[in-house]
């Protein structure tokens, strides 16, 4: 992996710019009456954040047109954030967001919070009448939007236990999925994530005066977001998972450090402060990718081993047994019996 540009605003998740441009080109090719100002040649090239914003806003307009109603306006998103910053706790803020979206039904979708003793669930139903690859990018961006917003409000990254998407193909929303830093399942009824219930009592510590700076790039400044919004582990997982999805070699810790504009020891310390290491993130990415391949494809074990960068089938088998206590073939047969 090459060292990143020194221009901070040009950093983004590797592969994201290509994914965004491809999707917009595909959507423009299929669009009929949907509004699509400009053309693919008008896309901004000087800023990863500007590109992300430009493409998602255009896709959102097309998707909303197909659903028969306009999208939620940026002014309304800002107003919701201004309401949430006055709440006392994260619990109150999430419920306030749900009430705000209900007033804008169906343009803002529907939100719901379900609280259990140890784990709470945040659900987002985008109320799409049809699914598409463009809609999936818009909706995953929306889910990341709420994750970033809730984390920012309590000045603490919301560590997730699991994530699910109402879209059948993981590849359509890569490399964004790694930013959740949690197992992600697809083809669910709604979008959502689960987290420890204890976090609901965390106080909202942000002040209204801080909103202007936060809203300037919200939620499009993914990699360069402050650590209180997106953790270093999330940023690293975004790159590791994206590499695995595309069948590329996994970047080393030194590669990641260069990408983030840090020294290797500094990145190691920052990950350690979050209770994780590069090797642990690498192993987690490999394990989840291996389980997905065994569960969702008919690839032979040798092909999975090659796709994940193992030197051979036996090396992959040993690693998988170490991760799960089961051989790959045993895991595959058990999963298929359960489903």
Q: What's the token pair of residue 131?
A: 């699914």
Angle at 274 between CA 269 and CA 279, to 5 degrees: 70
Residue 4 has pLDDT above 50, yes or no: no
- Structural domain including 278 reads 233-339
Q: What's the token pair of residue 45?
A: 């090239």
Q: What is the mean pLDDT of the chain?
A: 87
pLDDT at residue 37, rounded to an integer: 42
Q: Which residues pair with 185 in a beta bridge?
A: 164
**Averaged over 17-23, what is the pLDDT?**
86
CATH number at residue 252: 1.10.10.60
Asked if residue 113 belongs to a domain, the reply is yes
State whether residue 198 is helix, strand or coil: helix
333 and 275 co-located in one domain:
yes
301-317 per-residue burial string, b: 16 or more CB within 10 A, e: under 16: beebbbbbbbeebeebb
**Averaged over 172-189, what is the pLDDT?**
89
192 and 111 co-located in one domain:
yes
By CB atoms closer than 10 A (0-12, 13-18, 19+), residue 219 is: buried
Asked if residue 165 belongs to a domain, the reply is yes
Residues 6+ apart with CB under 8 A from 108: 72, 76, 100, 101
Higher pLDDT, 152 or 34: 152
Asked if residue 59 belongs to a domain, the reply is no
What is this structure's pTM?
0.83
239 and 192 co-located in one domain:
no
188 and 265 co-located in one domain:
no
Q: Among 249, 280, 328, which Cα is nearest to 1's?
A: 249
- Only one residue has tokens 């801080």, namely 210
**Averaged over 68-85, what is the pLDDT?**
90
pLDDT at residue 62, rounded to an integer: 87
Question: What φ, ψ does residue 79 adopt, rounded to 5°?
Answer: -65, -40
By CB atoms closer than 10 A (0-12, 13-18, 19+), residue 172 is: buried
89 and 204 co-located in one domain:
yes
């Amino acid at each position: 992996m090459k060292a990143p540009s020194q221009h901070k605003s040009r950093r983004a998740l590797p592969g994201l710019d290509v994914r965004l441009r491809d999707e917009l080109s595909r959507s423009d090719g299929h669009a009929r009456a949907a509004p699509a100002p400009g053309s693919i040649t008008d896309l901004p090239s000087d800023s990863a954040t500007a590109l992300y914003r430009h493409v998602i806003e255009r896709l959102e307009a097309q998707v909303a047109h197909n659903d028969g109603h306009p999208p939620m306006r940026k002014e309304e998103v800002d107003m919701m954030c201004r309401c949430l910053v006055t709440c006392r706790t994260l619990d109150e803020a999430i419920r306030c967001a749900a009430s705000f979206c209900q007033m804008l039904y169906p343009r803002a979708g529907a939100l719901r919070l379900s609280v259990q003793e140890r784990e709470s669930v945040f659900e987002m139903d985008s109320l799409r009448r049809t699914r598409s690859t463009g809609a999936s990018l818009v909706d995953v961006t929306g889910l990341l939007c709420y994750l970033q917003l809730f984390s920012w409000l309590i000045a603490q990254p919301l560590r997730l236990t699991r994530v699910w998407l109402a879209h059948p193909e993981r590849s359509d929303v890569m490399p964004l999925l790694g930013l959740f830093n949690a197992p992600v399942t697809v083809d669910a009824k709604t979008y959502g994530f689960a987290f420890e219930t204890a976090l609901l009592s965390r106080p909202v510590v942000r002040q209204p005066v801080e909103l202007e700076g936060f809203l300037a790039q919200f939620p499009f400044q993914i990699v360069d977001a402050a650590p209180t919004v997106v953790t270093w582990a999330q940023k690293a997982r975004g790159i590791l998972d994206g590499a695995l999805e595309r069948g590329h070699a996994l970047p080393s810790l030194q590669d990641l450090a260069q990408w983030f504009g840090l020294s290797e020891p500094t990145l190691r310390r920052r990950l350690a402060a979050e209770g994780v290491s590069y090797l642990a993130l690498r192993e987690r990415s490999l394990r989840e990718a291996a389980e997905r391949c065994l569960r969702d494809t008919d690839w032979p074990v040798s092909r999975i081993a090659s796709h994940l960068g193992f030197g051979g089938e036996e090396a992959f088998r040993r690693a998988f047994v170490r991760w799960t206590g089961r051989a790959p073939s045993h895991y595959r047969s058990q999963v298929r019996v359960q489903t």
